Structure 1
Amino acid sequence: MSKPRSLSLAAYRILSWGVPNATDDPYIPRPDGEVIWIHVGAQDRQRAAVDFCQRLRQSRPTLSIIMSAPPEADLSRWDACPHPLVNLPAEQTGAARAFLDHWRPDIGLWIGGGLMPNLITRASERDIPLILIEAKVDIKVARGGRWLPDITRYTFDCFHTILATTPDVVRHIRRLGVSSSKAEVSPPLHVSPNPRPWPEDELIEMTHAFSGRPVWLAAWVQDKEFISVLSAHRQAMRMLPRLALILHVADISEAGPLHRRLESMDLRCINWDDGGTIEDNTQVILSAEPEDLGLWQRVSPVTFMASSLERGAGGQEPLIATALGSAVIHGPFVHRHQQLYDQLDRANAARTVKSATELGDAVVSLLAPDCAADMALAGWQIVTEGAPQADHLIDIVQDCLDQRS
């Protein structure tokens, strides 16, 4: 049953009346069948949302997904998305109605803050089940509507389930007058990587090729990081003379020039992509194929996630390496995945370095078997801790959809 409309809400809609925004990029057609609308309130939560969608589709393969971002978000700066990703319309009554008329979602999942009363209350009045996770007491009220009582409470009360990451937020929501049975504490969504399997015979062959030598991987290395990585490798070889470096370059066109450069530096190097063979005295294995990282991360107990030592690239996602049991080192410039790296650093599952010298020291330190194993275990706990939360949320979504069938 739809909730009766409050006087505050009626007044708010009058104050925020408007027509749908004109746009040069109209919505694509609505998919057939069931549709879940997932709103991502902040760019840094997009990766976790996409990962959740992948898990959800495994449980409900016919479900179509539409994702939205805040009205002001510059989607050109967001990651490529496997699902349609659109900006929400401005907080206007007419625009909210047009959005819902077009997509007709069967269920809505809102991640984070920036709640928009017109859109949320109209969805609730259409009996669309709404779920709020990573809840914040953060409402985007249209200009002129802030003085109206009960808008915040009424907006929160439209949600079927509210999951917040801290008890303080839950208590605040309950103090608004929202039913205590709706709100509970639950961890945020985490990315749960699912590395593709690798042929066992290739792994055995690679392990045999290294013959027990210590190995480390530098992945996604930018051209301006080459000297730092190679300096760190030379430094580490003073302590570990048989040390091998797998140097994976971010730009495949750099592989050939770098190979010639390494030979001029008197480093014994092979180009794996050109069919080079790893020998007992090989010091650097050059690679550029992204698909081969699954192999390298399995045979390397330590991975330096490059594109992070110099400003500009913003880092690469570390969780596949972590899931494959490799201890992670990274530079300070990881803003594209800052939350993930902060989480790994806090758990002692990753280590930050700021220079070639620090990188060389970290490689030697982490190649000690006990240290690498401790970091790998801490990383594995981070990788797996989000699974129960995702499973719980999938159950809620499934139940809501089943009740509508």
Structure 2
Amino acid sequence: MSERWARTALMLYRCAGAAAYPLVGSYVAWRVAKGKEDRNRSRERYGFTRRERPAGPLIWVHAASVGETMAVVPLIESILDYGVNIVLTTGTVTSAKVAEERLGRRIIHQYVPLDLKPAVSRFLDHWHPDLAIIAESEIWPMTILELGARRIPQVLVNGRLSDRSFRSWKKRSSIAAALFENLAHVIAQSEVDGERFRELGARPVSVSGNLKVDTPPPPANDGALHVLKQEIGARPTWAAVSTHDGEETVAAEVHRTLVSRHPGLLTIIVPRHPERADALVEQFSGMGLKVARRSAGEPVEPDTAILLGDTIGEMGLYLRLTEIAFVGRSLMSEGGQNPLEPAMLDTAVLSGRNVQNFRDSYQRLIDKGGAKLVRDPAMLAGAVNFLLTNERARHAMMAAGLATVDEMRGALGRTLKALEPFIQPLVLKARLKGANGR
């Protein structure tokens, strides 16, 4: 596709979005009904707000969901220390809760506007950001074009392109180039990601490492942790976390396979989407397994087979209850989930082989002995059995994972250094405004 056709395609996208704008109300209403949108703040998705823009320089930071939000929290805290205001947008209710818990009133939180010109324009007209920082892989054409048209610098941090996304953009390389030319800088997670962005036309590109490594381990409520540890006692445990459809069944089957070899075994299952919990309880009960549902406050009793972690924001709690964690979306689904949180919490990491979205992190963990990939449910059962049986091997794997995470740290400092040319003028502007008292 030629450059001319690429720009024509983007213009058509803009027109189609404007034409579709009056029709998106039903879509947003459907998301509200499903609990995917905050009913009281749904108008923010159209660019409306009840908040005033603060005086002085303002940076717009966007993080799509929980993982991205947690990754940029230390970055946001560092920028706030400079005295620059931040409006943070996210796309999910759960990520909004994370923003509230971690950052509180130090930032202004808004739900990200729909990638349609009227919504994006209304958002930008109100907030007038001096800089836009976008996390990971959020490539929204209309937003990028509108920022570019207003000459607002936009930087992609912790940039990542999955195999699927890269193949898709490669088929539309002219459109990618027409979009990515609007980015003032791409700060990529890995050399592979960096090269992919360069191939698609982004300039300049630097590599920082993964910001998620520089985040603190997920917290846990001390009281809840104490109660659960008392209930579990000396029982052997393992966990299947961030699981997707089908992987919970695999975990339950692994439990049934191993419980005779490890009497009292407790399996902790933490689905990626807790709204599936009702169906999972019915399924496990049908398999003859007693379930303690965390959201209902059900205790772990001596005959409980599965602790179902169907709550949001308690991953740190679940991972502190075990020394073995299988990380999902990797055996029955594709892409993988972040293995760094389990490794940070001194946990031996197991995963399926479909971990394309976190290839660099897994490769480092595997090379150092902190993670192991399994090809099927039988191999998973064998790996869990081996680690439950061999304390020395389990502890060596745990230590290797923690050491690997320590070696990977430093992405935050490298990201801040790359952002200096964009942030320092705003810092100076903020200080001058403060000195002048207006």
TM-score, normalized by the shorter chain, greater than 0.5: yes
Give SS of 2:410's match.
helix
Inter-partner Cα distance in structure 1 for 2:148 and 2:245:
51
Inter-partner Cα distance in structure 2 for 1:238 and 1:371:
21
Q: Kindly provide the amino acid, as one letter, of the partner of residue 63 in structure 1.
A: N
Corresponding residue for residue 384 of structure 2: 363
Residues 286 and 119 from structure 1, CA distance in 2 versus in 1: closer, same or farther, beyond 3 angstroms?
Answer: closer
Q: Kindly provide the amino acid, as one letter, of the partner of residue 424 in structure 2.
A: D
Corresponding residue for residue 322 of structure 2: 300
Inter-partner Cα distance in structure 1 for 2:325 and 2:154:
41
Partner of residue 58 from structure 2, selected from 18, 35, 48 = 35
Corresponding residue for residue 361 of structure 2: 343
Alignment of 1:34-53 (within 5 A): 34-38=57-61, 49-53=68-72
Alignment of 1:102-251 (within 5 A): 103-109=127-133, 122-124=149-151, 128=152, 131=155, 133=157, 134=159, 159=184, 163=187, 166=191, 185-190=207-212, 192=215, 194-199=217-222, 203=225, 206-207=228-229, 209-219=231-241, 224-225=246-247, 227-248=249-270, 250=274, 251=276
Q: Kindly provide the amino acid, as one letter, of the partner of residue 104 in structure 1.
A: H
Query: How big is the alpha-carbon RMSD for the aligned residues of Structure 1 and Structure 2?
Result: 5.3
1:323 and 2:344 are equivalent in the alignment:
yes
User: How far does residue 363 in structure 1 lie from its aligned partner after superposition?
Assistant: 0.3
Task: Please tell me whether the aligned partners of residues 49 and 189 of structure 1 are also in contact (alpha carbons under 8 angstroms).
Answer: no
Inter-partner Cα distance in structure 2 for 1:301 and 1:323:
11
Residues 219 and 167 from structure 1, CA distance in 2 versus in 1: closer, same or farther, beyond 3 angstroms?
Answer: closer
Inter-partner Cα distance in structure 2 for 1:274 and 1:152:
49
Inter-partner Cα distance in structure 2 for 1:152 and 1:287:
43
1:373 and 2:392 are equivalent in the alignment:
no
Q: Higher mean Cα deviation, 347-356 or 293-302?
A: 347-356
User: How far does residue 300 in structure 1 lie from its aligned partner after superposition?
Assistant: 0.7
Q: Kindly provide the amino acid, as one letter, of the partner of residue 50 in structure 1.
A: T
Inter-partner Cα distance in structure 1 for 2:186 and 2:360:
26
Inter-partner Cα distance in structure 2 for 1:380 and 1:52:
18
1:390 and 2:412 are equivalent in the alignment:
yes
Q: Kindly provide the amino acid, as one letter, of the partner of residue 287 in structure 1.
A: L
Give SS of 2:238's match.
strand
User: How far does residue 229 in structure 1 lie from its aligned partner after superposition?
Assistant: 2.5
Unaligned runs of 5+ in 1: 1-11, 69-74
Inter-partner Cα distance in structure 1 for 2:423 and 2:372:
39
Inter-partner Cα distance in structure 1 for 2:194 and 2:120:
27
Residues 35 and 81 from structure 1, CA distance in 2 versus in 1: closer, same or farther, beyond 3 angstroms?
Answer: farther
Corresponding residue for residue 3 of structure 1: none
Inter-partner Cα distance in structure 2 for 1:253 and 1:141:
44
> Could you say which structure has the higher helix fraction?
2
Corresponding residue for residue 6 of structure 1: none
Residues 212 and 80 from structure 1, CA distance in 2 versus in 1: closer, same or farther, beyond 3 angstroms?
Answer: closer
Partner of residue 310 from structure 1, selected from 311, 315, 332 = 332
User: How far does residue 403 in structure 1 lie from its aligned partner after superposition?
Assistant: 1.9
Give SS of 2:221's match.
coil
1:352 and 2:379 are equivalent in the alignment:
no
1:253 and 2:278 are equivalent in the alignment:
yes
Unaligned runs of 5+ in 2: 1-6, 25-45, 97-109, 162-168, 431-438
User: How far does residue 302 in structure 1 lie from its aligned partner after superposition?
Assistant: 0.8
Corresponding residue for residue 64 of structure 1: 86
Residues 274 and 258 from structure 1, CA distance in 2 versus in 1: closer, same or farther, beyond 3 angstroms?
Answer: farther
Inter-partner Cα distance in structure 1 for 2:48 and 2:147:
22
Inter-partner Cα distance in structure 1 for 2:236 and 2:317:
16
Task: Please tell me whether the aligned partners of residues 113 and 119 of structure 2 are also in contact (alpha carbons under 8 angstroms).
Answer: no
User: How far does residue 342 in structure 1 lie from its aligned partner after superposition?
Assistant: 5.8
User: How far does residue 379 in structure 1 lie from its aligned partner after superposition?
Assistant: 3.7
1:403 and 2:428 are equivalent in the alignment:
yes
User: How far does residue 402 in structure 1 lie from its aligned partner after superposition?
Assistant: 0.8
Inter-partner Cα distance in structure 1 for 2:343 and 2:62:
28
Deviations 1:74-106 (A, max 9, x none): x8xx8975343245668xxx9999885554212
Partner of residue 74 from structure 2, selected from 50, 55, 77 = 55
Q: Kindly provide the amino acid, as one letter, of the partner of residue 105 in structure 1.
A: P
Task: Choose 1 or 2 for highest CA Rg.
Answer: 1
Task: Please tell me whether the aligned partners of residues 219 and 304 of structure 1 are also in contact (alpha carbons under 8 angstroms).
Answer: yes
Task: Please tell me whether the aligned partners of residues 110 and 132 of structure 1 are also in contact (alpha carbons under 8 angstroms).
Answer: yes
Corresponding residue for residue 72 of structure 1: none
1:85 and 2:109 are equivalent in the alignment:
no
1:284 and 2:305 are equivalent in the alignment:
yes
User: How far does residue 380 in structure 1 lie from its aligned partner after superposition?
Assistant: 3.4
Alignment of 1:256-267 (within 5 A): 257-258=282-283, 260-262=285-287, 265=288
Inter-partner Cα distance in structure 2 for 1:268 and 1:142:
55
Deviations 1:23-58 (A, max 9, x none): 337422485124323478xx8xx6664334423443
Give SS of 1:325's match.
coil
User: How far does residue 360 in structure 1 lie from its aligned partner after superposition?
Assistant: 0.9
Normalised TM-score (structure 1): 0.61
Inter-partner Cα distance in structure 2 for 1:369 and 1:194:
24
Residues 333 and 269 from structure 1, CA distance in 2 versus in 1: closer, same or farther, beyond 3 angstroms?
Answer: same
Alignment of 1:3-14 (within 5 A): none
Deviations 1:147-188 (A, max 9, x none): xxxx999x58x94x6646549979x98xx9x9xxx8755335
